[in-house]
Amino acid sequence: MGNQLAIEVDSLESKVYQIQSGNRSLQNELLHAYKPYIAKCVSEVCKRYIDPKKDDEFSIGLFAFYEAINCYSEEKGSSFLSFARLVIKRKTIDYIRKESKKTVVVSLDKAQEQENTENPLEIDAANRAYQVQQDNWNRRQEILLLNKKLKSYNLSMNELVKISPKHKDARKNAINIASLLYHDEEMRSFILKKKRIPMKRLAEKVDVSKKTLERNRKYILVIFIILDGEFVYLQECIKDQLNFNSLTKGLSQS
- pLDDT digit string (tens) for the chain, length 254 residues: 334 333 334 688 889 999 999 898 899 999 988 998 899 899 888 888 888 888 899 999 999 999 999 988 877 667 888 888 888 988 898 888 777 665 444 343 444 444 444 555 555 555 566 566 767 777 787 888 888 888 889 988 877 777 888 888 888 889 999 989 998 889 999 999 999 999 999 999 888 888 999 999 999 999 999 988 878 888 887 876 644 444 444 444 44
Residue 74 DSSP one-character state: G
Residues 125 and 81 sit within 8 Å (Cβ to Cβ): no
Q: What is the pLDDT of residue 53?
A: 86
Q: What is the pLDDT of residue 131?
A: 65
CB atoms within 10 A of CB 9: 7
Q: What is the pLDDT of residue 201?
A: 92
Q: What is the pLDDT of residue 218?
A: 92
* Phi, psi angles (nearest 5°) of residue 49: -65, 135
Nearest to 149 by CA among 247, 216, 225: 225
Q: What is the pLDDT of residue 119?
A: 56
Alpha helices in 118-240 (DSSP H): 120-152, 157-163, 168-183, 185-194, 199-205, 210-215, 217-228, 232-239
AA letter at 203: A
The third-level CATH classification (topology) of the domain covering 2-100 is Rna Polymerase Sigma Factor; Chain: A (1.10.1740)
For the chain, residues classed under CATH 1.10.1740 are: 2-100
